[in-house]
Structure 1
C-alpha cells in the first residue's frame, strides 16, 4: 500500500508564490478603486480595477480603460509600482525588504527565492537577489535617461514621468503606456513608429528584461566568453535571437510595404520584439495580414525566458521540445545540445507546460467567442496575449463583457505565475511508493 504523506502546515514555496501574486493583485485593485486614483476623482468599479491590477502585476498590458487619460498621477504611480513588483516577482520584492531591514534570510525563504527566480541552487541566492535588484534599477534608470530628450521635447517637464514610466514598463515587459488622451485613447507607441531612439531603447529594455536574471549573471561573470555560460543561458540567447529575427523578416516581407525602408525595418523588428510578452506596438496590428497574426499568436504563447520579467511558456520550453524532436528524428537515445544532455524529466515538464498553455489558450478563446459572438480568430489572439502575458490586442478588450474579462484575468494570472507553480501549489497529498507499474508498449505517430 502506498504511504500517504500529509502536507506540512507551513506553505510550500509554490503556494507562497501563487498566494503572493494574488494578494498583491487584490491590494492593488482596492487602492485603484479610490477616487484619488482616477483623474475624474470617482470610484472605479472593482471589476475594472481587478482587471487593471492583474494586468499590471502579471506584466501583461491588456487594459479596459486608457491608462494615460483615465488614471490620475497617483493611479499611474500605483500601476507602475504593481508593474515593478510583478516584473521582479513578489517574493524577490519581499526578500529585498528583509535584506534592507537587516533581517536574516531563513533557509525556507532562500528556497522560495530560488523557485521564484528559477535559480539552479539555493547557495548564493541572496547575492543573486541583490544583483537582480541593482541591475534592474540601473537598467531602468539608463533607459529613462536615454528617452528623456524625446519625451521632454514632446511633453515638457511631464516628459520625465513619461520616461520613467515607459522605461520600467518596457523592462518589466508590461506594455502599459500613458500616452493616451481623452481625444486619442489606447495609442501605445504608434506616434513614435519612425523614431529610432524610442524604438531601439524600448526594444533593448524588452530584450534585456526578457532574457532572464541568470543570463545577466552569466554575462557579468563571463563577459563574451560564451563557452563558459550555463547551458540554459546559451539556449535562451540562441532561441531569443531566432524568435526575434525570423518573425521580423516575415513581417518585413509581408507587411509595412508602404513605409520607407528605415521605417519598415523599425516597424518589423519592433513588432517582433514586442511579442516577447512586452505589449507595446508601434503599428496598427489589426491592419497586419492573417499570416502575421498567426505568427504573433504563436510567439506570444512562447513568451520570454525563465527567471525573467516576462511570462508565457518560456523560450527554453519550446527549445527543449524542438531539440527533443530532432533527437527523435535522428533516433538519438537522449536530447543533446552544446555538448550537454537533458534529463527526461525536463522534456516531460516542457511537454506538460506546452499542453497546459495551449489548452488554456484554446479553451479561453472558444469560451469568449461563444459568450461574445466575436470572431474566433480575434478571441484566440486575445487569449494568447493574456496567457502569454503579452498585452497585445486587436482592439476587442474594451468591448468584452464581465465574464470574458474574468476569463482574461484568470489567464493572465496563470500565465505569469506559471502553470507548474499552480499545479504544485494545488497538490496537497503526495504518494510515495517504491513499486512500479508493469511496463507496456503504445504506438504514437
Structure 2
C-alpha cells in the first residue's frame, strides 16, 4: 500500500488511477502464480493464465480452461485468493493488514478507502472496512458449513469441504467460478444449493454500504435514499426477471420444457437471479432462445449495487435514469424518489456512465465481429457478460482468438474498475463558473 501511495504522490496519480494500477498488479501476480508447475495439471499458456487471472481478480468467471480439471488444489486456492481480493477490494486487504500490524490509518489511506468504496466522506470508512471484512468471511464460512451437508456425503469430507469453501467464496464475490465444467447444472433442482448460492451472491451484490445500514438501522423509513433505491430496485428487477425467464423458456424442451413444475420454479429462480453478475448457471445457455439471451444481456448490463462485489452500470444508475425519464414525461424539472430530490449532477453522472459503458461494449463487439468467426448473438452475449463481470457464456470463450481474448480481458478490467473510475472522475469535476447563453437543438 505504501508503494501505491508513493506512486500516487510521485506521478500525481488520482486515487481511482492508483486503485486501477493496484488491480493490474494483482492480475500480473496472479498470472505468475497460475503459471507455476504446482498450480496446473496440464500445460497452460501465458495468455490463458493472464485471462484466468483477469477473470478471477475482476470476479467475472469466464474461463478458457476447466477450473476443476486444469488446476491443482494449489492453483484453485490461488484462484480463491484472487477472487476474494477482487471482490472485497484491494483496499480492504491493505487496511486489514495495516490494522493487524498495529499501525495507524492516515489521511491518504482514508482517501483511497473512500474512493474504493464509493463513499461521500471519509468519516467511518475504516469501521466500514472492518465490518465488511468480518461480515464477508463470516458469511462465507457459514455458507461453507451449509453446503458441506450437501457435498461432503457426495465427495468425502476433505473434498466436500473444499468444494463448499470454493463455491462459497466464488458466490459471495459474484465470481461465478465453479469446480465443475457444467457449473451448477448438476444441482439445478437442489433447494440447498439454490438458496445458499443465491443468498451469497445477492448479499455480496447488494452493496456493502447497504448491508452496513441494514445492521445499523432496523426501520425502512430511516434508511438512506441509496439503501431504499437498492432494496426496492433489486426486489422488482429480480421478480420481473423470474417471471420473464419462465415465460420465455417454459416451452423450450431443452431448458424448462422437460422439467416438472417444481423444478421449473427452481431453475427459473436461479437463472433469473444469476445474470446480476453472479455467473453461475444451472442450465446450458447455448440451448436457450435468443429472446432469453437478449433479456439476459439487459440484466447483465444493469448489474449489481454500488460498492459491492458485482459490476455493471449498477442498479441505482438504472433506477435514476428511469426516474429522470418519468420526471421529464411528467413535466417536472427535478428528479424525486422516496420524497427526496436527486441532485442534477448525479443524474448527469448516471447518464454519462451508461453512455460510456455502451460505447466500450459496442466498440468491443465491433472488434470481435471482425476477428471472430462466431454468431453475432454469441459475441454480444460474451461482451456484455465480460463488461458486467458476470461470467455467463454460450460456450465460445475457449474458441476466441488471441485478439478476442485480449478484447474480453480489457472489457472485464473496464467493467470492474472503469465505471467506478468514471463515476469518481465526474464527481470530482467542478462545474464551470461561466454561464453561457442558451442554444436550441431539435431532438426526437
User: Structure 1 length as normaliser, TM-score?
Assistant: 0.93
Deviation at 1:437, TM superposition (A): 3.3
Is contact 1:29-1:49 (8 Å) kept?
Answer: yes
Question: 1:4: which partner in 2?
Answer: none
1:26 is matched with 28
Q: Report deviation, 1:371.
A: 0.7
- 1:159 is matched with which residue? 160
C-alpha deviation, 1:16, in angstroms: 1.3
Measure, in 2, the Cα distance between the counterparts of 1:219 and 1:420: 23
Which of these residues, 225, 230, 240, is aligned with residue 236 of structure 1? 230
1:199 and 2:194 correspond: yes
Q: For residues 422 and 90 of structure 2, what CA distance do their matches in structure 1 show?
A: 15
Judge conservation of contact 2:60–2:391 (CA < 8 Å) in 1: yes
Instruction: Name the residue aligned to 2:397.
Output: 397
RMSD of aligned residue pairs (Cα, Å): 1.9
Residue 387 of structure 2 is matched in structure 1 by 387
Is it true that 1:435 corresponds to 2:429 in the alignment?
no
Aligned residues of 1:38 and 1:71 also touching (Cα < 8 A): yes
Which residues of 2 match residues 129-144 of structure 1 at below 5 A?
129-144=129-144
Aligned ranges for residues 1-400 of structure 1 at < 5 Å? Answer: 9-40=11-42, 42=43, 44-157=44-157, 158-179=159-180, 186-223=181-218, 225-255=219-249, 256-400=256-400
Q: Secondary structure at the match of 1:331?
A: coil
Instruction: Name which of structure 1's ranges 353-362 and 383-392 shifts more when overlaid on structure 2.
Output: 353-362
Report the 3-state secondary structure (helix = DSSP H, G, I; strand = E; otherwise coil) of the residue aligned with 2:436. coil
Deviations 1:381-408 (A, max 9, x none): 0000000100000000001111000000
Q: Which runs of 5+ in 1 are unaligned?
A: 1-6, 180-185
Q: CA separation in 2, counterparts of 1:383 and 1:126?
A: 35
Contact 1:275 1:299 survives alignment (8 Å): yes
Q: 1:439–1:424: structure 2 CA closer, same or farther, 3 Å change rule?
A: same
Superposed CA offset, 1:200-229 (max 9, x none) = 100100100000001111110112x10111
**Separation in structure 2 between the aligned mates of residue 286 and residue 404 of structure 1, nearest angstrom:** 19
Give the 3 Å change call, closer, same or farther, for CA 433–192 of structure 1 in structure 2. closer
Q: Tell me, yes or no, if the aligned pair for 1:169 and 1:175 is still in contact at 8 Å.
A: yes
Contact kept? 1:271, 1:283, Cα under 8 Å: yes
Shift in Å at residue 103 of structure 1? 1.2
SS of the residue corresponding to residue 16 of structure 1 reads helix
Give secondary structure in 2 for the equivalent of 1:62.
Answer: coil
Cα separation, 2, equivalents of 1:26 and 1:313: 26
State the alpha-carbon separation in 2 of the partners of residues 201 and 424 from structure 1.
34
- The answer (yes or no) to whether the contact 2:300–2:385 under 8 Å persists in 1 is yes
Partner of 2:4: none
User: 1:444: which partner in 2?
Assistant: 443
SS of corresponding position for 1:418: helix
Unaligned runs of 5+ in 2: 1-8, 250-255
Q: Report the alpha carbon displacement of residue 410 of structure 1 after superposing the two structures with TM.
A: 0.2
CA-to-partner distance for each residue in 1:11-69, whole Å, 9 max, x for gaps? 321111110111101110111111111024x5x32111110000000000001001000
- For each residue in 1:78-102, what CA deviation from the matched residue of structure 2 results, as whole angstroms up to 9, or x when unmatched? 0000000000011121111111111
> What's the CA shift string for 1:255-293, capped at 9, x where partnerless?
113211111011001011111101000011111111111
Against the structure 1 CA distance between its residues 143 and 420, is the aligned structure 2 distance closer, same or farther, given a 3 Å change threshold? closer
Instruction: Determine helix, strand or coil for the equivalent of 1:336.
Output: strand
Higher relative contact order (CA 8 A, sep 6+): 1
Q: How far apart, CA to CA, are the structure 2 residues paired with 1:375 and 1:268?
A: 25
1:183 alignment partner in structure 2: none
Residues 366 and 376, structure 1, Cα contact 8 Å, conserved in 2? no
